[in-house]
A and B are shown apart, each in its own frame.
Chain A
Amino acid sequence: MGYCFVDHGGEVEVELESSSEAGIFEEALGALAELVSTGEGGAAAAHEVELGSRDRALLLVDWLNELVFLAEVEQFVPEGVDSIELAGDTLHASVRGRRGRPRHLVKAATLNRLDLRQEGDGWHARVVLDV
């Protein structure tokens, strides 16, 4: 369970695994946080995120893109989720983190080779990030 960065010639490809579908979204936040965090500690902050998409895979991309937006506009470095709820193709999450100066490395989460599926007892996903 967790995430790993897979070799990609131009961008950053992330493989995610979790025992639950919501866990995939938490792991995705962790991967993004590793990419944008500079390790500087700022004031604690929190954001509520509500999203609706065509399907769960697109919802995962929308989730990451919302975190990219918060990092860039609100200078918000995410650290984790206090709660995350998936219902149909909607998401509601309470995200905690810190104000800081996140790296502007990630331009967007893309739909390239996007994958989200249940496999055996767990969930697996792949997202390519444009950097």
Chain B
Amino acid sequence: MGGMRVSFSTFELVRLDETLWEIPAGLRPGMRVPARIFADAELLDAIVDDRSLEQLVNVATLPGVVEAALAMPDIHQGYGFPVGGVAATALPDGVVSPGGVGYDINCGVRLLVLPLAETELGKRREALVHELSRAIPAGAGRHGPLGLATEELDAVLTHGPRALVTRGLCREGDLDLTESGGCLPGADPGMISDHAHARGAGQLGTLGAGNHFVELQRVECVFDPVGAGAFGLQEGGLTVLIHSGSRGLGHQVCTDYVRKMDSVAERYGIVLRDRQLACAPASSPEGRAYLAAMAAAANFAFANRQAIAHAIRSAVARVLGREAAADTRQVYDVAHNVAKVESYGGREVLVHRKGATRAFPAGSSEIPAAYGRAGQPVFIPGSMGTASFVLAGEPGSMERSFGTTCHGAGRSMSRTQAKKRIGGAELRRQLEGRGIVVRCPSNRGLAEEAPFAYKDVDRVVDVVERAGLARRVARLVPIGVVKG
């Protein structure tokens, strides 16, 4: 493809269209496919400030990678793969890379809709946020609310949230409104180490630290009434967004398999630009074992968000009554870090999404029937204190990005810089001054996630909409934050 060539930092990028840029495959030795970035000029300026493009180019060297290594507009530097990266490898022998999924396997988001408007919540808002913070342990280790015996944990790893139905923690209807029904096939607890089991045993239903949060939000604005109607969203209504993942269990699975694949890459003739890209053919014993372990960790993450959703409904019952809790409805639950077998153009590929969201369009057989005409819901959390978006998948995602869109605002500033610029206590005061109730045990943790440490989420969403990957359905603004 032709296009205007623009030099950014050490890379010369070709502008393919209004929102798509390319680093041609021949630019660096070893690249098997081009690297493509969805961005506008301003976001690109921020992107070239860190090592994310170098990391994307490294991804383009992986054996079996097809079409292009892709970056969403919220891309930023990660470890090995960039965050906001997408890579599809041809099956059966293209590689699977645990680092291409990340440590927090199936870190993702779930959106609930409360059956009342902000005006009806009134003065009970602070009590609700406080009750949410009491109900959801943030980062507890062995002392989470749902200690699991080994066989119970294995059932969760195998079946995901379905294993929680008999404990009264999961409604059947929630399963239909979860990506892949909340259960990735092929999960095998036997492929998970004792260390991973030990880390997971006490952590179901816990939020975790870092950028994980639960946010009480008001639907500020609806862009797409049809989509909003399908998802049950109304202007002035209330939602709760859950952002968490597979906790220590998933982290340990990634640790174990990066190490394992680092030891076998040479045997498969794989030359790594960075050891963190350690990988093996998906069809190899190591590849199959990882995919079985990853699926189990992903199922744990779906169940973790399910248990948190149950805790939220319990908190709603205490503050707003049982009827409100019963009518608190799940919109959807989507993964941000996962590898899945999908089919594009008649070819079966393994799509690695590292800080990216599946965004299937209307008509896809993979999304709930209720959303068949609207497209798959996608939730894009902004930074703490700024807006989040509900999007819906568009056909362009299938044509251009392996059914994928962005996952958030994307960091633009290190945690150290953020802490230098503002103290946690001051940030808490500022957020509360804007009418946001904040519950966070650590001022340090709060400062690290300051809103200015992230890119402008409106701009990120604008790019994916103009690129045809997803369309805006609604904009949500925070009125309460519970942080790990």
Please list the residues of chain A having a beta carbon within 8 angstroms of any beta carbon in chain B.
5, 7-12, 38, 54, 58, 61-62, 65, 68-69, 72-73, 75, 101, 103-105, 107-114, 128, 130-131
**Is the pair B199, A111 in contact by a Cβ cutoff of 8 Å?**
no
Q: A5-B416, A72-B141, A107-B251 are in contact. List 8 more A-B contacts (CB 8 A).
A: A9-B412, A9-B413, A10-B50, A10-B77, A10-B78, A11-B79, A110-B80, A113-B274
Report if A111-B276 is in contact (Cβ < 8 Å); known contacts: A103-B139, A131-B210. Answer: yes
**Is the pair B262, A111 in contact by a Cβ cutoff of 8 Å?**
yes
A131 to B102, CA, bound (A): 11
Instruction: Check B186 for interface membership: any CB of A closer than 8 A.
Output: no
Q: Which residues of B contact A61 (CB under 8 A)?
A: 259
**Is the pair B78, A11 in contact by a Cβ cutoff of 8 Å?**
yes
B335 to chain A, nearest CB (A): 17
B97 to chain A, nearest CB (A): 12
Q: Which residues of A contact B139 (CB under 8 A)?
A: 103-104
Q: State the interface size on chain B (CB cutoff 8 A).
A: 46
Q: Which residues of B contact A73 (CB under 8 A)?
A: 141-142, 198-199, 248
**Is the pair A130, B103 in contact by a Cβ cutoff of 8 Å?**
yes
Please list the residues of chain B having a beta carbon within 8 angstroms of any beta carbon in chain A.
49-52, 76-80, 83, 99, 102-104, 139, 141-142, 195, 198-199, 208-210, 248, 251-252, 254-255, 258-259, 262-263, 274-276, 278, 411-417, 442, 445, 484
Instruction: For the complex of A and B, list the 3 residue pairs with the smallest distance between their C-beta atoms, beginning with the closest.
Output: A112-B79, A111-B275, A112-B276
With CB as the reference atom, state the residue of chain B lying closest to A62.
B259
Report if A103-B445 is in contact (Cβ < 8 Å); known contacts: A11-B79, A62-B259, A75-B141. Answer: yes
A61 to B255, CA, bound (A): 10
Our pick among A54, A107, A110 for the contact of B263 (Cβ within 8 Å) is A54
Q: Which residues of B contact A114 (CB under 8 A)?
A: 275-276
A111 to B79, CA, bound (A): 8
**Is the pair B411, A104 in contact by a Cβ cutoff of 8 Å?**
no
Dominant SS among interface residues on chain A: loop
**Is the pair A10, B80 in contact by a Cβ cutoff of 8 Å?**
no
**Is the pair B77, A110 in contact by a Cβ cutoff of 8 Å?**
no
B104 to chain A, nearest CB (A): 6
Our pick among B76, B275, B414, B445 for the contact of A7 (Cβ within 8 Å) is B414
A57 to B270, CA, bound (A): 20
With CB as the reference atom, state the residue of chain A lying closest to B275.
A111
Our pick among B83, B248, B263, B274 for the contact of A104 (Cβ within 8 Å) is B248
B106 to chain A, nearest CB (A): 13
A12 to chain B, nearest CB (A): 7
Q: Which residues of A contact B412 (CB under 8 A)?
A: 9
Q: Enumerate 16 A-B pairs (CB-CB under 8 Å) in ascending A order.
A: A7-B416, A9-B51, A9-B52, A10-B76, A10-B83, A69-B199, A69-B248, A75-B141, A105-B209, A107-B103, A107-B104, A107-B210, A108-B103, A108-B252, A130-B79, A131-B210
**Is the pair A104, B141 in contact by a Cβ cutoff of 8 Å?**
yes
Report if A58-B259 is in contact (Cβ < 8 Å); known contacts: A8-B414, A10-B76, A130-B79. Answer: yes
With CB as the reference atom, state the residue of chain A lying closest to B138.
A104
A70 to B463, CA, bound (A): 43
Report if A108-B274 is in contact (Cβ < 8 Å); known contacts: A9-B52, A73-B141, A73-B198. Answer: no
With CB as the reference atom, state the residue of chain A lying closest to B141.
A72
Our pick among B77, B209, B251, B262 for the contact of A108 (Cβ within 8 Å) is B251
Q: Which residues of B contact A54 (CB under 8 A)?
A: 262-263
Q: Which residues of A contact B52 (CB under 8 A)?
A: 9
A26 to chain B, nearest CB (A): 22
Q: Which residues of B contact A113 (CB under 8 A)?
A: 274, 276
With CB as the reference atom, state the residue of chain A lying closest to B207.
A104
A114 to B263, CA, bound (A): 15
Our pick among A75, A111, A128, A131 for the contact of B415 (Cβ within 8 Å) is A131
Our pick among B141, B255, B414, B484 for the contact of A9 (Cβ within 8 Å) is B414
B429 to chain A, nearest CB (A): 22
A68 to B209, CA, bound (A): 14
A103 to B417, CA, bound (A): 20
Q: Which residues of A contact B415 (CB under 8 A)?
A: 12, 131
A105 to B483, CA, bound (A): 12
